[in-house]
Every structure is written in structure tokens, then in C-alpha cells.
A and B are shown apart, each in its own frame.
Chain A
């Protein structure tokens, strides 16, 4: 079907304001309800059209080959915030920034600080499971999502999970969509787990050689300190001469003061507090650091493997922009590299039992490598069948594995 015909069909479905042309001239649907989103998917499924999931276009490049794009810009509402229940319902296209501001008005907080810009959509953060430094104290993205409404590739609207903190009714389909890169459907709306806005939020920095900092980080964790974030930053990312270890303590005044006192008593490193009025800017700099190159990947690495894994990255790629959760089991690298070198990292990682996820890259690389790629035996088959069940005609243009269209 011609491009014009697709445009016209979408207009008939969503009205003139619900379709536009994106920068490449591709018809771009901007549904403003979950139902409308599912109708677009249903139509694409019936016609066999490929869908590029665009979100707000602030994380993955909008370059997947497709017959139409679906943007979440029309789904940008914070539907409800229940401070007493510590739950918010948010549409996928709402920006992190707008959600944060709205929550702060109610004394609430979402303990997520993903890489990228504050205009990132909540849907993109969840679909790519890109947790930031706060993962150390508050867990990965999956721990913050109580439920979600998803339009499947064949246009069904599936409502997984719920709005309560504890819920074991039925299978936990939400987990499939958190970090599923849209391969199992397009997220329309999510229920998020909130916390009370922390009374105290203190960040301290230590500078020095990398191995000194990683060893100090391990000692800090072993001393049972409870940092909200404990992030090792490469000189390039921190725009400094040396590596930086950033410790962030969030919580009640009493808990934060206790941790800061304990930190000073460890005495290994000269810790310098970041002035309160510059804390937000510092962490925003860390988040934006991951946009300093066209490719971002993460490795699953525990504290004792961080040095080796950064060596591996430095050897196969370059030292680049590295942010490593010193206790949280993850290293994030941003930079540029040809596909062969990225393959080498994934192979070397797999040999060490280290999973590598391609979080952000141009389509050619995503297609060549896949977001995941190195499945264990039997897993690839399960993932393939799961995709078939959510997107039987493979309308969603998402490269979970290498070579997938």
C-alpha cells in the first residue's frame, strides 16, 4: 500500500490531528488514548504494515524501517497520583520531567534517574529498562512498575498487573514489557510505585585512580552503608581529570546523617560533599553523559567484576563514557564503535557469563547485533514464541535479536 494510502487510512482512524508526517516523511500516528493506540496496531496487523515505535524520539533513534511510526506524544498525561497509596498512573508519553514535577507538588518521588534527557518518555524508560545510579538503593526499573496497559502487535489491549503494591493475581506479564524494547507490544499507560519525597538528599564525591575507587566502593557496601546511588564515573563522563566515585544518600535526615558519618569514619577516601544547590545538576550531568555518543550498552557485572569489565570495554572499544553501579550489578558504556568490535565485547562478555544489552544505537547496529543477542540455550526459542503470541505478523519493528527485521 502506498504511503499516501497508509496516511489516509490512519487519518480515517484517528482524525486529522492524530496523524502527521515525521522528519523522514513517514506517516506518524499520535494516538491519545490506549484504545486508539490499539486500533492503530490492529490496522497495521490486518494490513501487514511495519510499525516503528517512536516514543518521544529522545532515546532510541527514530530509524527503524517501517510503514508507519507510532509516537507516544499524544499520550502524555499524568492520569492520577495517589500520595496516600504511593501510586501514580501515567501515560507512556509523559516526560520524566513532567512526572517528577507533578509528583514533587504532592510530596512524592519516583526513584528512577535513567540515562538521557529529562524529556525522555516514561514509556521509553520502562520499555528499555534503563535504570540509572539510583538502582543501587531502589532497584531496577521493574521494581517501580506495578502494572501496565499495552497494545500488542495485533491490536489487543492487555492490562497487566494493577495499582496496588502487592499483587500476585495471574502471571506477571508486566515483567515482559519492562525491558522488552517494545518487542511484545507498545506501552500505553503504567502504574508506578512511588516514595515520599526524601527529606534529605546528600551527594559526596571522591576522586582517584579507578581501582582505588572500586575497592573503596566494595568496602563501603561491605560496611553495610546504604547509599541510594554509588556510581563510578569515567573521567570523560564526569569531564574531570580522574575517575570519580559518587555516593548519594537519600532518605530521612537521621538515616542520611548516619550514613554520611559512617562514610567519613571509613577514612579511606577524601570525600567532598556536592553543595546542595548543585546536586541535581551533578546527577543530570551523569544522565546526559550517556548521550555523548551514538551507542549505549550495559553489562551485567557485580562489584568484584567491575575493574575487569571496564578493562574489557577499554580493550575492545575505548574507555569512553562509563558509569558503573559499584554495587548494583551494572556498567553502562556510551561511545562509538563498529559492529565487529561490539560483537567482540558481547562474545567476551558471554564467555565470562556477563550479559550485554544494547540500549541505544542506530538501526543498522541494532539489527546486526540485537538488543540482546546472546541468549542461553532454549531462551531464544521461548522469546521467539512469546513474540509470536504478542505480535503474530511481526508488525513491531524491534530488533531483540541479531538479524531480526
Chain B
């Protein structure tokens, strides 16, 4: 990175908010993906949308790429920058600008931590629903970039269903507003297009979200099963009964064992093949009645025991193991590849069998924790990346799991994004024509492809590249 550029960036954000020495940059070499590491050229930490705009405009003028970063909790390598790029860390833009309880809207800066937003709206009886497991650390801006999900998205939808308006700085440094406070666009749905674009269309500097009322009553139930198949059938039975739980989460034996051996032990039965968490919310009378139905459906489908909790403390205890499952897995090995894939829900039992086969064939430790209601799997591989023999097996196992999910009619990612981690799998679900169209849309926002370069779209697989090379 040229010293003159570093100096000019320092003049914009203030020298205190710039990092360029190698030791300082070490913090920013990775995100939540353990297998990708790269030193950014320089890190800037703007405080205002104006500063973001100035930084991006300058980078446009000197033709230097940039990567936006929230809390760095992403799991697909999307917030990691190469040495020729500037990393724009947005954590200082952490103001909740407005909470409008009457209209059920909040306007925030991108660096606001997800959980803080719901804390701020709770006194008004409102919540911001998308709740990724990293919600205590991850930022709303990062959630927008990745279209983050979470356990409660089964009933309420993922990030894109909750974002109504965005102020964005485009890669040429210009600013524009997409969408409207009401949620009705002023044109084509560019908010919908921008959410989940993984930082490649620009940087959201102000985000208006939809808030939902806190439910009057919540009931959490925990059931354990002797087979994953029986637990999956219970999930289908609940949904077929017309009940839409707020969350439907499953953990397999390995995951339960990891949780129960850790400080997050939640009293889950360690001999169960699958533990299912079902959460209902809504009006008290309705929740009580639906809970009765759910309990009998769980029992009919072979639940060995069903525990039920309705006080916040008891519910938190049932949830603890699920929410802290990733942390608990840290005990097993120093590194954890948190995988993310989706299958049609009816394919869950078969895919679990297939993952077990893959685990055995590569001799790895895989714990499964997943959003069973929407078929979103998280097979997590515990490993030690210092072991030269294991990295290749982890990679190959991930590849086989993705292939199995795609073959089952699913997708390579449900909530973590493609980033650099999944880029090679993109041609397995999108043809060259569609990848080409995605790239063309990216170039509408970013003609020089300087925003988060090298992520999401495998350029070699796009139609125009293939045509140019005569590849068929």
C-alpha cells in the first residue's frame, strides 16, 4: 500500500483510526472462517457516513479495492481482505439513530451490534427478530451484507424480510437511498437486491429495520429421540398441523455430548440420538393450546421425554446448550469449521445418514446442530489446522457434504454466505448463464469490481468468460 494513500486515508478518518503496521493488522487477518487468512493493506475505521463516502471516493480515484467489515464474525471469509485492499472496519459507526415504536421501525448505523438493537427496542415491547448465534457480537451491517438468519427465522423470516430502507455508499463514492421506511420501494426492489450481496455492491451506512412486537407468551419445549429420523418426522408433523413455531432446532448426539461436557451444560440427555427444541410464541391462550398439540405430536412420533419451560430463566436454560453449541465445540479441538447448507426439510433424515457416512470415511469429528424447521444444516467439523494431514480431509468432507445437499435439491449456504469459502461450489447450483447475470448485476453497482473482490462469483464459470475461452 502506497504511503501517500495511507496518509490520505489517515487525513480522512484521523490517524488514530488507521492501522497499517503488521502487528496491528493481525486482528483483521481472519473472520469466523478458520481456513482463510490474509493481511489487509491497511485498516480504516470511519465514524460517519461522510467519512465512509470520502474513503470510498478516494479509493475509486486511485483504483484501489476495499472490503467492508463489521465485527468479523462472518463464517465464509467474506470480511477478509488481500494485501492490495483497504479494510473498512465499521464498528465505530454504532449509533442507534432512532427507534420509532409507533411505526415499528428503527434506524441504525451498520456497526450496531445485533443484540443491542433488540435490547434498545425491548422497553417499547418490540424486537428486531433475526438472531444469528453470534448476535452478541455481530453487527446489523454485517447481517445485511450476509442476509443473516438465526433460529427464529422459521416464523419471522431472515434479515432481508426485516430491512426496509438503506443508505448506501456505492463503490464510486456516491451515496444513494434504497427502499422506503414504509417498506414499499420507489422502484424495483433494490433493497432486496442489496441485502445479501456480501459487500460487493457498496457499503450500507444507514439501515432502517422493521420491528416486531415481543410476543405476549413464549413456551419452549425440549424433546429427545432415539433416532434423528424420528425427530425429523416430529418436525414435519408439527408443520403439517398448521403450527408455525418461532423456532425448531435440532442437535445430534455429538453436539449434545459436546455441550454437556462443557460449562454450557444444559441438562440435555446425552444418550439421545437427537434433541429437538421447539419454541412457540404468541398470545397466551393460543400458545398453551398449541403447546398441548405439539407435546402430543412429539410423543406420538417417539419422543422419549418432553420438557417444557415458560419462564425466561427456564427457557434460557433449555436454549443455553443450543446457543452455546459452537462455543462448546471449542473444547473438542482448536479449530471448528462451522458449515452451512440447506436441504428440503423432507430430505433431513437421509442427509444426516449421508453426513455420518462422510464423517466415517474421512475419520473426522462432526457435530450437527441445525435449524430443522427450514432444513438449514450446520455440520461442524472439529479439527486442528496445525495438523498437516487433516486440512485436506476437512476440505474434502465439506465438499462431499455440499455435493450431497445439492443433490438433494438444496443449497450450499442458508445463512453464512458464499464469501471465499463456498465460491468453488457456486457452479454446482448455478449455471454459467445465471452466474454471468449475477456478475453483470454486480458490475452495475461496481463496474471496476473493487468492492470485496474475489468473493461469491467464480468469474471463470460465468458465461462470458467461458465463451471467451471457448469452454463448453
Contacts and interface: CB of A to CB of B under 8 A. Distances in A.
Q: Do A and B bind each other?
A: yes
B188 A184 contact: yes
A380 B445 CA distance: 12
Given A142-B189, A382-B445, A166 B195 contact: no
Given A170-B426, A173-B437, A400 B413 contact: no
Interface stretch (B3-11, B238-246, B321-329, B353-361): B238-246
Interface stretch (B82-90, B154-162, B222-230): B154-162
A300 B431 contact: no
Interface stretch (B63-71, B174-182, B260-268, B302-310): B174-182
Nearest to A108: B240
Contacts of B412: 169
Nearest to A168: B147
Interface in B343-390: 343-346, 371, 374-376
Q: Which among B344, B416, B457 has the greatest number of chain A C-beta atoms within 10 A?
A: B344
B332 interface: no
A259 B417 CA distance: 38
B410 interface: yes
B282 A84 contact: no
Contact of A156 (B191, B411, B437): B437
Contacts of B344: 82, 84-85, 87, 163-164
B243 A167 contact: no
B242 A198 contact: yes
A378 B290 CA distance: 49
A380 B102 CA distance: 31
B149 A258 contact: no
A353 B180 contact: yes
B236 interface: yes
A196 B158 CA distance: 20
Interface stretch (A95-103, A277-285, A385-393): A385-393
Nearest to A143: B161
Contacts of B125: 224
Nearest to B105: A302
A386 B174 contact: no
Interface in B144-170: 146-147, 149, 153, 157-158, 160-161, 170
B285 A168 contact: no
Contact of A166 (B187, B242, B346, B376): B376
Contact of B433 (A157, A172, A353): A157
A168 B188 contact: no
A291 interface: no
Interface residues of B, number: 93
Contacts of A253: 289
Contacts of B153: 166
Contacts of A355: 180, 182, 184-186
Interface string A362-405: 00000000001011111110110110011000000000100000
A50 B169 CA distance: 35
Contacts of B103: 302-304
B441 interface: yes
A377 B371 contact: no
Interface residues of A, number: 83
B422 to A, nearest CB: 7
Interface in A1-19: none
Contacts of B180: 300, 353, 355
A68 interface: no
Contact of A173 (B182, B285, B290, B441): B441
A195 interface: yes
Given A157-B433, A258-B283, A164 B414 contact: yes
A139 interface: yes
Interface in A288-347: 298-304, 329-330
Interface stretch (A20-28, A112-120, A175-183, A231-239): A175-183
A196 B445 contact: no
Nearest to B435: A170
Interface string A63-101: 000000000000000000011111100000000000000
B280 to A, nearest CB: 10
Interface string B415-427: 1111000100010
A255 B286 contact: yes
A168 B286 contact: no
A158 interface: yes
A378 B169 CA distance: 11
B332 to A, nearest CB: 26
Contact of B157 (A143, A173, A298): A143
Q: Which among A140, A173, A258 has the greatest number of chain B C-beta atoms within 10 A?
A: A258
Q: Which among A162, A195, A197 has the greatest number of chain B C-beta atoms within 10 A?
A: A162
B242 A197 contact: yes
Given A252-B290, A379-B176, A162 B411 contact: yes
A299 B215 CA distance: 29
B422 A169 contact: yes
A186 B413 CA distance: 27
Given A164-B342, A171-B196, A252-B290, A300 B183 contact: yes
Contacts of A386: 188, 441, 444
A351 interface: no
**Do most interface residues of chain A lie in helix, strand or loop, or is the interface mixed?**
loop
A390 B149 CA distance: 30
Contacts of A382: 176, 190, 444-445
Interface string A151-166: 0100011111011111
A300 B184 contact: yes
A139 B375 CA distance: 21
A378 B456 contact: no
B465 interface: no
Nearest to B103: A302
B175 A330 contact: no
A262 B181 CA distance: 29
A330 B188 CA distance: 16
A254 B182 contact: no
A282 B450 CA distance: 54
Contacts of B243: 252
Contact of A170 (B146, B181, B244, B438): B438
A166 B414 contact: yes
Contacts of B192: 142, 172, 174-176, 178
Contact of B290 (A166, A255, A302): A255
A197 B239 CA distance: 11
B236 A199 contact: no
B242 A158 contact: no
Given A258-B286, A304-B102, A169 B178 contact: no
B120 interface: no
B183 A140 contact: yes
Given A168-B415, A196-B239, A257-B285, A139 B442 contact: no
Contact of A374 (B147, B186, B371): B186
A386 B242 CA distance: 40
A287 interface: no
B285 A254 contact: yes
Nearest to A253: B289
Q: Which among A107, A152, A389 has the greatest number of chain B C-beta atoms within 10 A?
A: A389
Interface of B: 102-103, 125, 146-147, 149, 153, 157-158, 160-161, 170, 174-178, 180-193, 195-197, 200, 213, 215-216, 236, 239-244, 282-286, 288-290, 293, 342-346, 371, 374-376, 409-418, 422, 426, 429-431, 433-438, 440-445, 456-457, 463
Given A164-B375, A355-B186, 10 more contacts: A162-B411, A166-B374, A166-B376, A169-B426, A252-B243, A252-B286, A330-B182, A379-B187, A383-B187, A390-B437
7 contacts: A140-B183, A166-B342, A168-B414, A170-B434, A171-B200, A180-B188, A224-B216
> Which 3 pairs across A and B sit closest by C-beta, in order of nearness?
A300-B184, A175-B192, A254-B289
